[in-house]
């Protein structure tokens, strides 16, 4: 009888240990990965971004992985559709960040901008290339704007860049981020920044 009691007690202790271990891992602070990030590393970084969104933080930038080899990053075919990724080069290495979380509101706004630009293009008899929002590769960084347009097919030299920002990026931060494109793209002529604010509720 005494042995049975000890066995049950040990089982209970093991159960408590595993439960506390799970809680500890659930609340463990976020840490970026070292080396080339994988999909699960981006999943963790996205969860951290969403956690900080839930705290109403603004101008959020989550480091996914520091000191990644630029050659490895440029060769990678990893696609993460729910966020925008930004890299900053330091010689042969780069830091990989998440800078924007994509929502339905964001995508519908980008789609409307693309539609209006298409209408303007047709009305003026022009042929613009682009508006895919594909990553642009520069000598010191890569960025993924929400849209681009150009009269030629050079993907890294658009004449127009479009960025749509929701409430979790401040107007000052969005303006600074957008203006930096002029330093990256010598041929850039126009920049369209759309800033969306949350709907105000009139409480009477």
Number of domains in the chain: 3
Q: Please report the pLDDT score of residue 202 as a whole number.
A: 53
Same-domain status, 57 and 74: yes
Same-domain status, 78 and 132: no
Mind listing the pLDDT tens digit for each residue in 37-93?
A: 999 999 999 999 999 999 999 999 999 999 999 999 989 878 888 899 999 999 999
Q: Which domain holds residue 9?
A: 1-29
Same-domain status, 148 and 173: yes
Q: Please report the pLDDT score of residue 133 as a whole number.
A: 65
Same-domain status, 46 and 2: no
Q: Left if phi > 0, otherwise alpha if psi is -120 to 50, otherwise beta: which for 44?
A: alpha
What is the strand order of the sheet 62-69 is part of?
62-69, 93-101, 83-90, 141-143, 136-137
> Are 166 and 106 a contacting pair, CB within 8 Å?
yes
In angstroms, rounded to a whole number, what is the distance separating the alpha carbons of residues 145 and 54? 24
Mind listing the pLDDT tens digit for each residue in 140-161?
A: 999 999 999 888 777 778 899 9
Residues 102-125 have a mean pLDDT of 87
Asked if residue 123 belongs to a domain, the reply is yes
In angstroms, rounded to a whole number, what is the distance separating the alpha carbons of residues 167 and 198? 6
For the entire predicted model, the pTM comes to 0.77
In angstroms, rounded to a whole number, what is the distance separating the alpha carbons of residues 55 and 61? 14
- What spatial distance separates the first Cα and last Cα of the chain, rounded to whole Å? 69
């Amino acid at each position: 009888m005494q042995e049975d009691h000890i066995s049950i007690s040990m089982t209970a202790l093991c159960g408590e240990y595993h439960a506390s271990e799970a809680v500890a891992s659930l609340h463990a602070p976020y840490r970026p990965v070292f080396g080339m990030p994988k999909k699960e590393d981006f999943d963790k970084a996205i969860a951290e971004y969403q956690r900080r969104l839930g705290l109403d933080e603004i101008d959020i930038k989550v480091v996914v992985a520091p000191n990644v080899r630029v050659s490895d990053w440029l060769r990678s075919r990893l696609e993460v559709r729910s966020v925008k990724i930004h890299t900053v080069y330091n010689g042969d290495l780069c830091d990989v960040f998440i800078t924007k979380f994509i929502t339905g509101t964001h995508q519908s706004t980008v789609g409307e901008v693309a539609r209006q630009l298409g209408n303007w293009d047709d009305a003026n008899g022009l042929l613009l290339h682009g508006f895919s929002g594909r990553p642009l590769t520069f000598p010191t960084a890569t960025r993924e704007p929400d849209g681009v347009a150009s009269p030629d097919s050079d993907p890294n030299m658009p004449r127009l860049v479009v960025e749509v920002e929701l409430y979790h990026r401040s107007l000052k931060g969005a303006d600074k981020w957008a203006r930096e494109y002029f330093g990256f793209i010598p041929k850039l002529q126009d920049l369209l920044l759309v800033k969306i604010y949350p709907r105000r509720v009139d409480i009477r």
